[in-house]
């Protein structure tokens, strides 16, 4: 992968997409905007549609019958389950890490 060139990544695109879809079905462009606001991460089109295709093929999201040009996606049960699991792990790691940082620097 070619993650962020100079920084430390903290969440992969797939997780950001699933989190965005947890707020309800969205199409690609809406996901980009939602993720920008909510996480401050701007997904490029290549990243987004590549990740969407992989998530669909793995059964974590499902394409809805789209009006006009939009192709909305929604979470599947498997997607919700995976997301919940990952988010809990993230929260635990974040709490633990922040606690370590606090005690390490008085």
Partner DNA sequence: TCATGTACTACGTGAAACGATACAGCGAAC
Partner DNA sequence: GTTCGCTGTATCGTTTCACGTAGTACATGA
Q: Binding residues for DNA, per CB under 7 A?
A: 1-5, 9, 12-14, 27-30, 42-51, 54, 66, 69-72
Angstrom distance (rounded) from CA 41 to CA 101 = 24
Phi, psi dihedral angles at 97 (to 5 degrees): -65, -45
- 68 conformational bin, left if phi > 0, alpha if psi -120 to 50, beta if neither: left
Q: Give which of a copy of itself, DNA, none residue 61 binds (C-beta under 5 to 8 Å, depending on kind).
A: none
DSSP 6: S
Q: Give which of DNA, a copy of itself, none residue 27 binds (C-beta under 5 to 8 Å, depending on kind).
A: DNA
Q: Residues in the site for a copy of itself, rule: CB under 8 A?
A: 1-3, 6-12, 14-16, 18-19, 22-24, 38-40, 55, 58, 60, 75, 80, 82-84, 86-91, 93-98, 100-101, 104-105
């Amino acid at each position: 992968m070619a993650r962020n060139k100079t920084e430390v990544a903290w969440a992969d695109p797939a997780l950001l997409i699933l989190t965005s879809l947890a707020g309800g079905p969205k199409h690609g462009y809406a996901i980009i905007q939602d993720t920008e606001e909510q996480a401050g991460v701007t997904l490029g089109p290549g990243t987004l549609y590549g990740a969407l295709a992989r998530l669909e093929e793995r059964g974590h999201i499902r394409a809805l019958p789209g009006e006009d040009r939009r192709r909305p996606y929604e979470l599947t049960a498997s997607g919700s389950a995976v997301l919940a699991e990952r988010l809990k792990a993230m929260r635990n790691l974040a709490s633990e890490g922040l606690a370590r940082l606090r005690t390490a620097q008085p």
